[in-house]
Amino acid sequence: MEKLELLYEGKAKKVYKTSDPSLLIMEFKDDATAFDGKKKGVIEDKGILNCRISTIFFELLGEKGIDTHFVKRLNDREMLVKSVKILPIEVIVRNIAAGSMAKRYGIEEGFELKRPVLEFCLKDDRLGDPMINNYHLIALGIAREEQLKKIEEMAFNVNNILKEYLMAKGILLVDFKLEFGEKDGNILLADEISPDTCRFWDINTKEKLDKDRFRRDLGNIIEAYREVYSRLKN
């Protein structure tokens, strides 16, 4: 499958058209950003690792019956995906309080939540991706009620599948962000699932194995991404 014109360039990925209008190529870049693009950097080989890690997760989720946009990995940095209409919503699932949730409610990072939490954020960098609820999303015409129900159900299923899978690899799934798209009236899980979009902690040491190493200047960023990949691969 050949790459045709560039359709979209985001902070960490590029999306290209292909000769088949129903398929796109998603290319993972080494660029890293945080805090709505205010912090920028390049992490050599990050794109390769995120492409491989996302592939492992999408294949696992597909086997477990989750509908996703993933078709196949093409090479080191590219995957073939179904063309979907992305909903401008970031869907965050949390098992352990960290990041913005810990800050917002004044809780210590690491607090084990009594049950998983789901948050919606409006995907808009200019506004700083503000949190938004079902009522807003429906009232603003961003999503329909049945779509949000389906998204919530899929997001919690993804959480159960990934949490259990990662636990066996010695990784705690602290939280993660998903994006969904619509195709022919169906909701598909889209975008990527990687250390850029999830918080992964080592189960014993609680060492951070994700993008917080970049956000918080903790060093050894690519080493952490490599560690995640090597645990998933084995």
Instruction: Give the footprint of ligand C5P on this chain (CB under 6 A).
Output: 90, 92, 98-101, 129, 175-177, 197-199, 211
Neighbour tally for 16: CB within 10 Å: 18
18/49 with CB nearer ligand C5P:
49
> Nearer Cβ to ligand C5P, position 52 or 199?
199
Minimal CB distance to ligand C5P: which residue?
Answer: 99
Judged by beta carbon, residue 66 or residue 91, the one nearer ligand C5P is: 91
Q: Residue 120 corresponds to which tokens in the numbers above? A: 């919606």
Nearer to ligand C5P, 177 or 213 (CB): 177
Closest approach of ligand C5P to the CB of residue 56, in Å = 17
Question: Cβ of residue 136: shortest distance to ligand C5P, in angstroms?
Answer: 17
Question: Whole-angstrom Cα distance, residue 220 to residue 186?
Answer: 40
Structure tokens at 148: 């949000």
CB of residue 64 to ligand C5P, shortest distance in Å = 21
Compute the Cα dihedral for 111, 95, 216, 169 and give only its sign.
positive
**In what helix (H) or strand (E) does residue 192 lie, and over which residues does it extend?**
none
With a CB cutoff of 8 Å and minimum separation 6, the contacts of 3 are 16, 17, 18, 25, 27, 78
Write down the least CB distance from residue 194 to ligand C5P, Å: 9
Min CB(215)–ligand C5P separation in Å? 8
Q: What gap in Å lies between CA 212 and CA 61, rounded to an integer?
A: 25
Name which of 1 and 88 has its Cβ closer to ligand C5P: 88
